[in-house]
Amino acid sequence: MRIAYSVETVRAAEAELMARLPEGALMQRAAAGLAAACAGLLGRVYGARVVLLVGSGDNGGDALYAGARLARRGAGVCAVLLAPDRAHQGGLAALLGAGGRVTDDPFEVLADADLVLDGVTGIGGHGGLRPDAVPVIRAARGSNAVVVAVDLPSGVEADTGEVRGEALHADATVTFGTYKPGLLIDPAKEYAGMVRLVGIGLEDHLPSVPDLEALQHADVARLLPVPTGESDKYRRGVVGVVAGSARYPGAAVLAVAGALRGGAGAVRYVGPAADGVIARFPEALVHGGPPAKAGRVQAWVVGPGLGDGIGVVAEVLDSDVPVLVDADGLRLLDAAAVRGRGAPTLLTPHAGEAAALLGVPREEVESARLASVRELASRYGATVLLKGSTTLVAAPDGGRSPVRVNPMGTPWLATAGSGDVLSGLAGSLLAAGLDARDAGSAAAYLHGLAARHAASEGGPITSYEVAEALRSAWGDVQA
């Protein structure tokens, strides 16, 4: 599991740790890790031209001390002080003592730098870069240098992943003590490049429950249902899929495809697209409806491709088993009906659907994904999986459990129908007995991995191919 903590929590842990250490020790640990990472990126430190962009806080201090270490190893290190009278005094003295220098002409030194260290802002920065930093950051990006962000790319919001103005696009970020949410959530994540975590001893002072967590292969492998000697198709769980319409028959096929690959013992399809479903999947059980007459299931998926036939959603929500609501099913969704359910509900909107549910513009959801998913979970009393470039899953427990962030996404998934596959897959995991947060996050992970497998064969992929690759993705996480 990869975990991230909010700035407030990081600062509290830092204070606890600093109280036990000699003054400045923590910054020295950070600077040592940073300098080592930079040396690795440079290959040869001696003779390298390094430029430090130094802001007014401790983030700049880290850059200055790391610069001093590189200067001692023979690099030519030059600092650009964005706020000269507020630059970290100890760090500046260390740099000058090690043979580094300060320049008034950032553009001249940036033009032929090999490495730029961005120490403008870290966890203390808010609201995008200030105007005086913008031309310097642009010149750094326009140079041929490798750009390394100290702790976070300057200009991004550490706690939310929002980018409210100009921010620095780094090639790599060296972060200290723990990941911060902004390093894992778009749009900020895109600015971080490759992220390296440097331990500074903070780990023991952080609470056991993080703010954000990202599953990895082993975590997903532990969640996936595997049949045993006692299993039969009913004990493995039956998932019902209510999807498709005369207008969108393919959504039914794709949702059933995802469900069949999700570990349930059987898939019941309910709706008007039974012929198409059976033609592709003879193993599916089909029924014309209504869902209540279709036979017992352990979870329902409702919504993909329903078109105007959304009257059925209320009926499915009335059932006493977990329900996943996706796509058309989310239109006109009755919050009171969802809140009043006895069994868990999993909503799987993309940004546009989430925006409609929240009554805000789509861009607002895309720029503030974390706040949006939390707000939806709380409003609907449901677990919410917010799809997109960074998929997030939040439970309706007021923040007691960490929001899950999917590290396995890939833009290849931006293809029609891939969401239908995801809803079938997550529904199948619900039927197999996973709780809604686990089902949603394990499904998102497998779905992304399947898309990567499919794309590795070369070129654009179709949603049906994603469903087919779920089998090899499953094998991959269990290997």
Ligand X SMILES: NC(=O)C1=CN([C@@H]2O[C@H](COP(=O)(O)OP(=O)(O)OC[C@H]3O[C@@H](n4cnc5c(N)ncnc54)[C@H](OP(=O)(O)O)[C@@H]3O)[C@@H](O)[C@H]2O)[C@@H](O)CC1
Could you give the 3-state DSSP secondary structure of residue 172?
A: strand
350 belongs to the binding site for ligand ADP (CB under 6 A):
yes
The minimum distance between CB 73 and ligand ADP, in angstroms, equals: 40
Residue 298, contacted partner among ligand X, ligand ADP, K ion, none, CB below 5-8 A by kind: none
Span near ligand X by CB under 6 A; candidates 49-57, 273-281, 440-448, 450-458 = 49-57
200 is in an annotated binding site: no
121 belongs to the binding site for ligand X (CB under 6 A):
yes
Give the Cα separation of 65 and 52 in Å (integer). Answer: 10
Helix axes 7-18, 25-42, angle to 10 degrees: 120
If you write DSSP's letter for every residue of 375-424 in order, what string do you get? HHHHHHTSEEEE-SSS-EEE-SSTTSSPEEE-TT--GGG-STTHHHHHHH
126 is in an annotated binding site: yes
Taking residues 123 to 162 in sequence order and writing x for each that binds K ion by CB under 5 A, - otherwise, the string is --------------------------xx---x--------
91 is in an annotated binding site: no
414 belongs to the binding site for ligand ADP (CB under 6 A):
yes
171 is in an annotated binding site: no
Span near ligand ADP by CB under 6 A; candidates 99-107, 115-123, 275-283, 412-420 = 412-420
If you ran DSSP here, which 8-state letter would residue 179 be given? B
Residue 103, contacted partner among ligand X, K ion, ligand ADP, none, CB below 5-8 A by kind: none
Partners of 81 in the β-ladder: 54
Residue 118, contacted partner among ligand ADP, ligand X, K ion, none, CB below 5-8 A by kind: K ion
If you write DSSP's letter for every residue of 230-292 in order, what string do you get? T--TTTT-EEEEE---SS-HHHHHHHHHHHHTTT-SEEEEESTTHHHHHHH-TTSEEE-S-GG
Q: Are strands 2-4 and 212-214 parallel, antiparallel or unpaired?
A: antiparallel
Taking residues 67 to 106 in sequence order and writing x for each that binds ligand X by CB under 6 A, - otherwise, the string is ----------------------------------------
Could you give the 3-state DSSP secondary structure of residue 437?
A: helix
398 belongs to the binding site for ligand ADP (CB under 6 A):
no
Q: Which of 192, 252, 327, 347 binds ligand ADP (CB under 6 A)?
A: 327
Residue among 57 and 244 whose Cβ is closer to ligand X: 57
Q: Name every residue whose Cβ is closer than 8 Å to that of residue 44 and which is 6 or more positions away in sequence.
A: none
Q: Structure tokens of 30?
A: 């950070």
Q: Which of 125, 396, 409, 424 binds ligand ADP (CB under 6 A)?
A: 409
Residue 91, contacted partner among ligand ADP, ligand X, K ion, none, CB below 5-8 A by kind: none
124 belongs to the binding site for ligand X (CB under 6 A):
yes
Q: Structure tokens of 206?
A: 């952080």
DSSP 3-state helix, strand, coil percentages of the chain (rounded to 5)?
45, 15, 40
Span near ligand X by CB under 6 A; candidates 122-130, 307-315, 335-343, 371-379 = 122-130
Residue among 154 and 463 whose Cβ is closer to K ion: 154
Give the Cα separation of 268 and 372 in Å (integer). Answer: 33
Residue 419, contacted partner among K ion, ligand X, ligand ADP, none, CB below 5-8 A by kind: ligand ADP
306 belongs to the binding site for ligand X (CB under 6 A):
no
Helix axes 463-478, 418-431, angle to 10 degrees: 40
Q: Alpha helix locations (H) across 143-235?
A: 188-192, 217-223
439 belongs to the binding site for ligand ADP (CB under 6 A):
no
10 belongs to the binding site for K ion (CB under 5 A):
no
Q: Are strands 392-394 and 383-386 parallel, antiparallel or unpaired?
A: antiparallel
Residue 26, contacted partner among K ion, ligand ADP, ligand X, none, CB below 5-8 A by kind: ligand X
- CB atoms inside a 10 Å sphere around CB 305: 26
Partners of 115 in the β-ladder: 50, 146
The site for ligand ADP (CB under 6 A) is made up of: 327, 350, 387-389, 391, 409-411, 413-414, 416-420, 422, 447
The site for ligand X (CB under 6 A) is made up of: 10-11, 14, 26-27, 30, 55-60, 62, 120-130, 133, 150-151, 176-177, 200, 202
Binding-site sequence positions for (6S)-NADPHX: 58-62, 122-128, 151, 251, 305, 350, 420
Binding-site sequence positions for AMP: 387-391, 419
